[in-house]
Structure 1
Amino acid sequence: MELYVNYEGKKLPFSIPEGWDLISSQDRPPVPGLPDPLAEIRRALDEPIGSPRLEEVARPGMEVVVIFDDLQRPTPVHIALPEVMDRLNRAGVPDERIIGICALGTHPIPSLRQLRDKVGEEAFSRLEGRLFPHDPHAPDNVIVGRTHRGTLVEVNRYVASADLVIGIGECMPHPIAGFGGGCKIAMPGVCSYRSIADHHFTWMRHRDSRVNLLDGNPFYEEIVDAARLARLSFKLDLIVNDRKEVVKAFAGDPVAEHKEASRYATSLYLVPLPGLADVTITSAFPLEVGVQATKALAMARFCTRSGGAIVWVAPQKETGSILPLIREMGTPESADEFHRRLVQGDIPEYLKAFGISYIMQVVYFKELAERFTVVHVTEGLAADQVEMMGFTYQRDLQGAIDLLSERFPEAKVAVFPSGGNIIPAVR
């Protein structure tokens, strides 16, 4: 049977053996983008969920901080931010009293040009001298409290001193937070390194820290607590398709609007499966850059039986900087042992330069290698580097299938052509 996965915007064909029973293979139908995304953003801001309109939340003379997501997400901040600023102006808050913060968490710091591209020329000009990337290591980050479970919450100093904090981001499936967007713009977005480490390492492997679950998910609930301590008051979340086009917008109370956005995202991304797969074939597309490329692999573990196999297809073109992480993945220390060290604050010195989400991948990759046979189809990593991860290297997708057919002459098989944005739901 001829099948395909999406790879850098192209279809990568392959066939499966006769003994393999396909339990899921459909690519999601393309979700059309809106012809006028600004009109949809305005509609959402005019009809906020669980909150007064932004013009009513803001007051004349307020110091307002607008935090927005970083380069690893396709949110069209350049469209949304000027509209948010216009509404603040109408409420009596001039541009001079608005500060823009790029919510990096512990992701790489963007260049000035990248920041300009993210917010657009108009907002960049209007925020001249008041536009900053968040620094999780800054000594002037401010402790604002602890969550009800005890997570330290330490935030950007501009956020801590603001009269009003507003967020702009994107809602998409997330393998441990349930969904991205919502309060994640505050935690990890504008929290300190030690605050993010405290939260992420503690809750990353809890059984209820998983995709498509908000209520009862401790990873998510701690994020909500942290955002309340950071006084995040209003959020605009966008749903964006694979072509980075706006599909729908939600705005209002950061928790209430995010729950509505998550329900809508579920309707787009849910993939029902009759049972666990023996073999799952997944592509990182459309999230093929940086740590985002691992989301497809993380989603595959929810629908593959222990002892089964996962074929993970990802270009991995930005790999030079992560070689220390790859070496750590190859150490004999188990996932449990390494995770325990992280929870205790014992981060290997040579890994401290990496973002928390990258260090988390060491735990997840060790766990994946312990539970599954993972075959990594990639052009960006050498065979010895992939094998250091505990995975099997293949440059060719069909070669990966042929290799697994020897071990699995009969298998239930799930194929996710665009595995970066899916919610696998096993009945």
Structure 2
Amino acid sequence: MKSYQFRYGDRSVSFEVDETNIIGELHGNATEPVTDIRQALFASLEHPVGGPSLPAFARTGDQLAIVVSDRSRSWMRQDLVLPHLIDYLHDVCGIEDRDMVIVIANGTHDGDGPEILTQLVSPAVMERIEVINHDSQSDDLIWIGTTSRGTHLRIHPLVASRKVITLGACTHHVMAGFGGGRKSILPGVASAEAIRQNHAHALDPEAPRSNPLIGNSVLKGNPIHEDMCEGAAFLKDVFTINLVMNTDMALAYILSGDRFESWARACVLADQMYTVSIPCPADAVITSCGGFPKDMSLYQGSKVIDNVEPALKNGGTLILVAECRDGGGPGEYFDWLRPLKEGILDSALRENFTIPGYIFYLNCEQARRYRIMMLSELNAADAGEMGIEVYQNMDELLAAAKLEKQKILIIPNGSVVIPRVETGAI
């Protein structure tokens, strides 16, 4: 038997698997972390990928809106970068602290209080710079344009009226292909209606299923991504800083400059680190989200299912270790059980599309394709209605999985691994 230890919330769980059944153990490709964040950031600001340097973009007298990610992406550790960015803007670009404001790109998520905001931006920055939560339901959002796909884009007034610096992390995303970049604007600081219009492209217009044009690392022809890009382009004065985390969730690259060109380069680097070749799909995959905050809820944690499912045979067994201390996540997530049980989930979602509703829809699709078994604090009855089995003891889960004579892939942290089937790999 081979022993494993997976992250689970703020702690770890241990278990054993018959090693004769294991056909591989997948990790992302090792990349050294940045050793001097301040130096790496300043170099990226002065030598941008496309577009002007930051000193040429931001000058004395300018008013800046700095858009940063919310708590759901605290793993990107922007708090380690922001103090240096604020110093640079003040000391090198000549921007006064009073002329800077930080806007938290909450999308449709609820805003956090001072304690969490301090963790997101660092105590030093919280003392110097005003920090504001974006509210997608606010009445004062400003229209900046309508995309060719009909997304009527209204955004936070401070982002609409100032020069903008976006700070985000580039990683794989099941709907948009990759996160970061243009997502800081749409959905980050957009209205709930604009976000709904954009994300509704997740559904296939021709069939009751997810849109086959979207998916992890899919950009070309992806209507969600293309609509986001078109919406973000309505803003003219934007400087983008992209963070790329290595597979140990430490900062590996900082790329700055043009909002699209620098982000595209970051996507390539993320793909190179996270993509792992496999010769064939497995009968079973055992994986985790890598602990909190990525396993804070099923809404967030199921992104790992999106990542690892290429490694699994249709009808195979997926074992996911995810605490889900916040349950489904958004309050409405499990509200979608009602239309599911009534057999009208697809039509109900098309009539009243929401992002939590779609993630619920996607998770139900995945539970039809695979046997999904979770070690989790989720309500077992609610998850069971979706077709997901929930256990609170790993030994009991593994006994119920009946993995004898199954070909098993072990993926300790599925949040940083994207398996791709390639003949002759491993």
Classify the TM-score, shorter chain.
Answer: 0.7 to 0.9
Shift of 1:23: 4.0
CA distance in 2, matches of 1:376, 1:388: 14
Unmatched 5+ residue regions in structure 1?
348-355
CA distance in 2, matches of 1:67, 1:315: 30
CA distance in 2, matches of 1:223, 1:333: 33
Deviations 1:204-262 (A, max 9, x none): 63213111222332222221112112446211111234665322211111111111111
Deviations 1:47-91 (A, max 9, x none): 110111011012443222110111111233333223333443433
In the TM superposition, what are the counterparts of 1:137-216 in structure 2 within 5 Å?
137-162=137-162, 164-203=163-202, 205-216=210-221
What residue in structure 1 maps to residue 349 of structure 2? 342
Question: Residue 231 of structure 2 aligns to a residue in which SS?
Answer: helix
Shift of 1:274: 1.4
Asked whether 1:47 is paired with 2:47, we answer: yes
CA distance in 1, matches of 2:94, 2:375: 55
Deviations 1:70-113 (A, max 9, x none): 11112333332233334434334322222210111112211112
CA distance in 1, matches of 2:359, 2:329: 14
- Mark the CA change 1:37 to 1:322 in structure 2 (over 3 Å): closer, same or farther: same
CA distance in 2, matches of 1:243, 1:114: 23
- Mark the CA change 1:65 to 1:201 in structure 2 (over 3 Å): closer, same or farther: same
What residue in structure 1 maps to residue 82 of structure 2? 81
Asked whether 1:217 is paired with 2:222, we answer: yes
What residue in structure 1 maps to residue 206 of structure 2? none
Aligned counterpart for 1:332 among listed residues 336, 341, 345: 341
What residue in structure 1 maps to residue 67 of structure 2? 67
In the TM superposition, what are the counterparts of 1:286-325 in structure 2 within 5 Å?
286=291, 287-290=294-297, 291-319=299-327, 325=333
CA distance in 1, matches of 2:122, 2:273: 28
- Mark the CA change 1:329 to 1:95 in structure 2 (over 3 Å): closer, same or farther: same
Question: Residue 247 of structure 1 aligns to a residue in which SS?
Answer: strand
Query: How many aligned positions are there?
Result: 408
Aligned counterpart for 1:415 among listed residues 390, 410, 413: 410
- Mark the CA change 1:271 to 1:244 in structure 2 (over 3 Å): closer, same or farther: closer
- Mark the CA change 1:216 to 1:123 in structure 2 (over 3 Å): closer, same or farther: same
Asked whether 1:370 is paired with 2:371, we answer: no
CA distance in 1, matches of 2:94, 2:331: 50
What is the root-mean-square deviation in Å for CA atoms of aligned residues? 2.5
Question: Residue 114 of structure 1 aligns to a residue in which SS?
Answer: helix
Give the conservation status (yes or no) of the 8 Å contact 2:110–2:135: no
Give the conservation status (yes or no) of the 8 Å contact 2:66–2:164: yes
What residue in structure 2 maps to residue 96 of structure 1? 98
Question: Residue 301 of structure 1 aligns to a residue in which SS?
Answer: helix
CA distance in 2, matches of 1:389, 1:168: 36
Shift of 1:420: 1.5
CA distance in 2, matches of 1:412, 1:280: 9
CA distance in 1, matches of 2:5, 2:183: 30
Deviations 1:138-161 (A, max 9, x none): 011122112222222221111111
Give the conservation status (yes or no) of the 8 Å contact 1:284–1:297: no
CA distance in 1, matches of 2:19, 2:334: 32
Aligned letter for 1:26?
L
Shift of 1:123: 2.0
What residue in structure 2 maps to residue 280 of structure 1? 285
What residue in structure 2 maps to residue 350 of structure 1? none
What residue in structure 1 maps to residue 118 of structure 2? 116
CA distance in 1, matches of 2:23, 2:151: 41
CA distance in 2, matches of 1:199, 1:245: 31
Determine what percentage of the aligned residue pairs are the same residue: 24
CA distance in 2, matches of 1:101, 1:299: 29
Shift of 1:131: 2.0
What residue in structure 1 maps to residue 25 of structure 2? 25
Question: Residue 219 of structure 1 aligns to a residue in which SS?
Answer: helix
What residue in structure 1 maps to residue 419 of structure 2? 424
CA distance in 2, matches of 1:57, 1:270: 35
CA distance in 1, matches of 2:332, 2:170: 31
CA distance in 1, matches of 2:118, 2:264: 31
- Mark the CA change 1:255 to 1:339 in structure 2 (over 3 Å): closer, same or farther: farther
Aligned letter for 2:169?
E
